[in-house]
């Protein structure tokens, strides 16, 4: 349980640095991330490096015992570089070229720019790679932010064509895989294939899917080019990238594969996130000052998997931010609570953004641990309290890493892309459905691992698959080998890897263990809400429903009022034929969890639990005071069972 901060010495007079470092250490901060936007100061003119200021900053921080995370500055190429190669600017989907003047103004497909990135990374790594205070390196920052990954440049087209050749071998294979006979879309050669932009109507979904796969691979290779340099010149320290919340532009599992990163780090801005994601309006209203209780937990659990068990919060909200439609001040206590929440889900480090609010430029309305006048902000005071609590508690300081949870939730990036390409109904969003399932499980006190479809699922007792577009035989093999309960949501197994409907109808290969076929599907306008009951819980489908035929061996547990099957099972494998209202999701998942032998807890509105290292943490995101379900003789190491809004407690169960 360590606390960090993001700091930009280049933005402040040197006279402030020593005092800043001293106050950081005093506050209980152990790690400081610096330098990730400072290219124009490291290299003010082409080839003219100026390291003196950065040397000083590092020494000043190190002198206070602070550990340094150094960022490569490639998210903000300087003006002189753009002037030398204007083609490095990315191109929008309408063919317009983006311009200099903010950040992330580079085409990830530009080979010139990639060379420049390797050069500056090497220069930094050669200078600081073996500095004892530099404990980790971050490549770039928030790859894909501001929707900058898709570039429609000539460079991207060339690299996409090469990628396609690699994947499909011959253009005939590609034409077959994509079904290009449809609408005479057949290509004579890889060189003829354009980017899927500016088509009068929908482009071929297979074309779009391969473009998304290509882009995802581009992001990974962009990182790897820097990571390779860092491994060489900065041996033995952590290499990482800083990811974002609810962000699915690239496949994070593939990105992280083959030890491309040592630890996954991400940005936790739960209040703004709650405002912008697809939650019901009532939830946005209820949790406007606390954030939805599952919104950061969802990504904590996701990035724990991506980091192979190791994750940090690199940027933690420290007060109001500047980028949502509305930006309220968090409820008192939340800035502290979010730190404990991250730790309870397994974070090694929670690093706040940023040390001091910057009074100028684009983020001047983004708070920090200090106000622009350098007094500690309300959020800063909460962090000081948390740091002190941890320092004073041996138990908290030395908490063991989290172990495997009893429940796995499969989250799949390709499924997100496929269902974005083909929503079919205006309200259908896969990540939102996955979050719905996650939330229904968390409301009942369960700890969850979020995992890839390629993960080893053999040790879980309940495996939840909100949907999984492509189900291959290897995945079904895992089901056959497992003795867990398996719950599959709608659209599971509905596509082949080439984006076609399986010849045996959905759910494709899943029929090996679940004998049913999806005959027709429908997307539902809000007024069209097929009713059903599961036990004594009543509700409806929303967004999506399937007309499913139960084949011999399948058991129908619940039907819609019009007679179509809603819940079907074969042994331990269950299928939910629609997106259901929340209470029904909770019922379906509870039933499966109980069948798996798990113990459920009925938590008050807004209360959540998380377990780590023998402790149970409880967090109150709700408006009302709530009592954490600690056993009578629980040993509290933090707080107490009665929790006001924004309060947290932690206890050890009696032996």
- Residues known to be catalytic: 142, 315
The alpha carbon torsion through 399, 381, 327, 338 (nearest 10 deg) reads 10
Number of residues that bind a copy of itself (CB under 8 A): 112
Angle at the Cα of 458 (from 454 to 464), degrees rounded to 5? 70
Nearer to a copy of itself, 108 or 344 (CB): 108
**CA 515, CA 107: separation in Å to the nearest integer?**
47
Q: Is 16 in the site for a copy of itself (CB under 8 A)?
A: no
Q: Does 552 bind a copy of itself (CB under 8 A)?
A: no
| Residue 184 C-beta: closest distance to a copy of itself, Å | 4
65, 154, 235, 359: which one binds a copy of itself (CB under 8 A): 359
Pair 5, 369: CB distance under 8 Å: yes
Residues 403-462 that bind a copy of itself (CB under 8 A): 422, 424-427
Query: Of the candidates 126, 173, 364, 601, which one interacts with a copy of itself according to CB under 8 A?
Result: 364
Backbone angles phi, psi at 224, to 5 degrees: -60, -35
- Number of residues written out for the chain: 655
Which residue, 406 or 493, has its beta carbon nearer to a copy of itself?
A: 493
CA–CA distance, 379 with 381 (Å, rounded to integer): 5
**β-pair type (407-410, 462-465):** parallel
Q: Give whole-number Cα distances, 638 to 392, 616, 617, 642, in Å.
A: 11, 10, 9, 12
Which residues, in sequence order, are CB contacts of 422 under 8 Å at separation 6+? 205, 499
| Interface with a copy of itself in residues 479-508 (CB under 8 A) | 498-505
Q: Which is nearer to a copy of itself, 298 or 564 (CB)?
A: 564
CB of 18 to a copy of itself, least distance (A): 19
Q: Please give the residues from 506 up to 545 whose contact with a copy of itself meets the rule CB under 8 A.
A: 517, 519-525, 527-528
What are residue 134's DSSP bridge partners?
Answer: 68
Residues in 565-624 at the binding interface with a copy of itself, rule: CB under 8 A = none
DSSP H/E element including 275? helix 270-276
Asked if 184 interacts with a copy of itself (CB under 8 A), we say yes
Binding status of residue 327 toward a copy of itself by CB under 8 A: yes
Instruction: Report CA-CA distances (Å) from 71 to 7, 226, 241, 293.
Output: 11, 11, 9, 31
What are the structure tokens assigned to 528, written together? Answer: 């069209």
What distance in Å separates the CA atoms of residue 353 and residue 27, rounded to the nearest whole number? 15
Other beta carbons within 10 angstroms of residue 170's beta carbon come to 11
> Looking at 166, 170, 173, 362, which residue binds a copy of itself (CB under 8 A)?
362
Identify which of residues 101 and 236 has a Cβ nearer to a copy of itself in the complex: 101
Q: Quote the distance between the C-alpha of residue 630 and its chain's center.
A: 30
Task: Please report, as residue ranges, which positions from 296 to 325 form the binding site for a copy of itself (by CB under 8 A).
Answer: 319-320, 322, 325
Give the nearest distance from C-beta 361 to a copy of itself in angstroms: 4
Q: Name the residue nearer to a copy of itself (CB basis): 36 or 443.
A: 36
Contact region with a copy of itself (CB under 8 A), list: 291-299, 303-311, 367-375, 482-490: 367-375
Measured from the CB atom, the residue of 445 and 493 that comes closer to a copy of itself is 493
C-alpha distances (whole Å) from 258 to each of 83, 136, 250, 254, 280 are 36, 18, 16, 9, 39
178 interacts with a copy of itself by CB under 8 A: yes
Among 224, 289, 512, 555, binds a copy of itself (CB under 8 A): 289
- Does residue 559 touch a copy of itself according to CB under 8 A? no
Least separation in angstroms between residue 310's CB and a copy of itself is 29
204 binds a copy of itself (CB under 8 A): yes
- If the CB atoms of residues 90 and 406 are measured against a copy of itself, the closer one turns out to be 90
For residue 524, the minimal CB distance to a copy of itself (Å) is: 6
Q: Rounded to 5 degrees, what are φ and ψ at 625?
A: -60, 140
Q: How far is the CB of 76 from a copy of itself (least distance, A)?
A: 4
Site membership for a copy of itself, residue 102 (CB under 8 A): yes
96 lines the binding site for a copy of itself (CB under 8 A): yes
Pairing state between β 516-523 and 537-550: antiparallel
| 371 belongs to the binding site for a copy of itself (CB under 8 A) | yes
User: Binding residue for a copy of itself (CB under 8 A) from 85, 87, 186, 228?
Assistant: 186
Residue 90 found at the interface with a copy of itself (CB under 8 A) = yes
Site for a copy of itself in 134-153 (CB under 8 A): 145-148
3-class secondary-structure state, position 126: helix
Tell me the closest approach of the beta carbon of residue 161 to a copy of itself, in angstroms. Answer: 14
Q: Is the Cα torsion angle 199, 202, 207, 212 positive or negative in sign? A: positive
Tell me which residue of 212, 213, 170, 179 sits closest to 501, measured CA to CA: 179
Q: How many CB atoms lie under 10 A from the CB of residue 556? A: 15
Touching a copy of itself, residues 20-39 (CB under 8 A): 37-39
The binding site for substrate consists of 103, 141, 323
Q: Does 356 bind a copy of itself (CB under 8 A)?
A: no
Structure tokens at 650: 């932690």
> Pick from 97, 111, 192: which is nearest to 156 by CA?
111
Task: Please say which residue, 303 or 544, places its beta carbon nearer to a copy of itself.
Answer: 544
The stretch near a copy of itself (CB under 8 A) out of 189-197, 240-248, 384-392, 610-618 is: 189-197
Q: Is 266 helix (H, G, I), strand (E, B) or coil?
A: strand
Interface residues for a copy of itself in 625-654 (CB under 8 A)?
none
Q: Which of residues 61-80 bind a copy of itself (CB under 8 A)?
A: 73, 76-80
Nearer to a copy of itself (CB atom), residue 284 or residue 454: 284
Q: What is d(CA 547, CA 517) in angstroms, rounded to the nearest whole number? A: 9
Please tell me whether residue 103 binds a copy of itself under the rule CB under 8 A. yes
Closest CB 60 distance from a copy of itself, rounded Å: 18
Which residues, including other chains, have CB under 8 Å from residue 479's CB and lie 6 or more apart?
486, 513, 573
Feature table: binding site: 103, 141, 323
Rule CB under 8 A: say whether 100 interacts with a copy of itself.
yes
Report the residue from 169, 328, 631, 654 that binds a copy of itself according to the rule CB under 8 A. 328
d(CA 71, CA 82): 20
C-alpha dihedral (584, 587, 589, 593), degrees to nearest 10? 180
Determine, following the binding rule CB under 8 A, whether residue 95 of this chain makes contact with a copy of itself. yes
Establish if 196 lies at the interface with a copy of itself (CB under 8 A).
yes
Separation between Cα atoms, residue 39 and residue 41, nearest integer Å: 5
Is residue 326 packed enough to be buried (19+ CB in 10 Å), middle (13-18) or exposed (0-12)? exposed
Quote the tokens at residue 339. 């730190």
Q: Is 215 in the site for a copy of itself (CB under 8 A)?
A: no
Minimum distance between the CB of residue 114 and a copy of itself, rounded to whole angstroms?
A: 18
Nearer to a copy of itself, 99 or 602 (CB): 99
Residue appearing with tokens 């974005």: 420
């Amino acid at each position: 349980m360590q606390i960090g901060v993001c700091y930009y010495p280049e933005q402040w007079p040197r006279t402030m640095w020593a005092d800043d470092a001293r106050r950081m250490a005093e506050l209980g901060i152990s790690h400081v991330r610096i330098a990730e936007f400072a290219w124009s100061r490291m290299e003010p003119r082409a080839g003219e490096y100026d390291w003196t200021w950065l040397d000083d900053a590092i020494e000043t921080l190190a002198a206070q015992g602070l550990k340094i995370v150094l960022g490569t500055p490639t998210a903000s190429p300087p003006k002189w570089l753009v002037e030398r190669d204007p083609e490095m600017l990315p191109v929008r989907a309408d063919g317009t070229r983006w311009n200099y003047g903010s950040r992330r103004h580079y085409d990830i497909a530009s080979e010139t720019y990639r060379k420049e990135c390797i050069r500056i990374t090497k220069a930094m790594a050669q200078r600081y790679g073996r500095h004892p205070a530099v404990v980790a390196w971050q490549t770039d920052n928030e790859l894909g932010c501001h929707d900058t990954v898709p570039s429609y440049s000539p460079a991207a087209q060339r690299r996409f064509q090469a990628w396609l050749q690699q994947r499909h071998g011959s253009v005939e294979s590609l034409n077959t895989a994509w079904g290009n006979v449809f609408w005479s879309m057949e290509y004579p050669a890889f060189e003829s294939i354009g980017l899927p932009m500016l088509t009068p109507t929908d482009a071929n979904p297979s074309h779009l899917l391969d473009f998304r796969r290509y882009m995802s691979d581009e992001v990974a290779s962009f990182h790897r080019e820097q990571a390779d340099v860092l491994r060489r010149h900065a041996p033995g320290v952590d290499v990482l990238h800083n990811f974002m919340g609810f962000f699915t532009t690239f496949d994070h599992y593939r990105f992280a594969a083959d030890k491309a990163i040592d630890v996954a780090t991400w940005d936790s801005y739960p209040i703004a996130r709650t405002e912008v994601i697809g939650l019901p309006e009532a939830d946005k209203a209820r949790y406007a000052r606390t954030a939805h209780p599952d919104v950061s937990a969802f990504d904590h659990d996701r990035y724990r998997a991506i980091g192979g068990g190791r994750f940090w919060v690199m940027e933690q909200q420290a007060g109001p931010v500047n980028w949502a439609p509305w930006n309220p001040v968090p409820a008192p206590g939340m800035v502290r609570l979010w730190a404990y929440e991250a730790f309870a889900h397994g974070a090694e480090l929670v690093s706040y953004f940023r040390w001091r609010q910057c009074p100028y430029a684009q983020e001047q309305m983004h708070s920090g641990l200090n106000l622009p006048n350098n007094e500690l902000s309300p959020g800063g005071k909460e962090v000081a309290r948390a740091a002190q609590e941890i320092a004073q508690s041996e138990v908290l300081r030395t908490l063991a890493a989290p172990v495997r949870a009893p429940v796995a939730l499969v989250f799949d990036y390709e499924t997100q892309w496929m269902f974005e390409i083909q929503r079919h109904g205006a309200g259908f969003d896969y990540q939102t459905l996955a979050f719905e399932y996650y939330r229904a499980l968390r409301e009942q006190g369960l700890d969850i691992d979020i995992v890839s479809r390629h993960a080893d699922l053999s040790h879980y007792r309940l495996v939840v698959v909100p949907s999984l577009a492509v189900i291959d035989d290897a995945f079904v093999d895992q089901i056959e080998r497992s003795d867990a309960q398996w719950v599959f949501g709608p659209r599971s197994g509905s596509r082949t890897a080439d984006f076609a409907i399986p010849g045996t109808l959905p759910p494709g290969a899943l029929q090996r263990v679940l004998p049913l076929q999806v005959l027709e599907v429908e997307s539902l306008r809000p007024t069209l809400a097929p009713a059903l009951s599961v036990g004594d819980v009543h509700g409806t489908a929303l967004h999506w429903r399937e007309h499913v035929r139960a084949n011999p061996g399948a058991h129908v547990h619940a039907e819609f009022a019009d007679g179509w099957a809603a819940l079907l099972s074969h042994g331990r494998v269950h299928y939910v034929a629609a997106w259901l209202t929340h209470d029904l999701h909770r019922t379906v998942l509870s039933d499966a969890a109980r069948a798996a032998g798990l113990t459920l807890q009925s938590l008050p509105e807004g209360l959540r639990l998380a377990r780590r290292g023998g402790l149970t943490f409880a967090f109150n995101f709700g408006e009302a005071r709530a009592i954490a379900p600690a056993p009578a003789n629980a040993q509290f190491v933090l707080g107490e069972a009665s929790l006001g809004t924004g309060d947290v407690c932690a206890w050890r169960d009696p032996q």
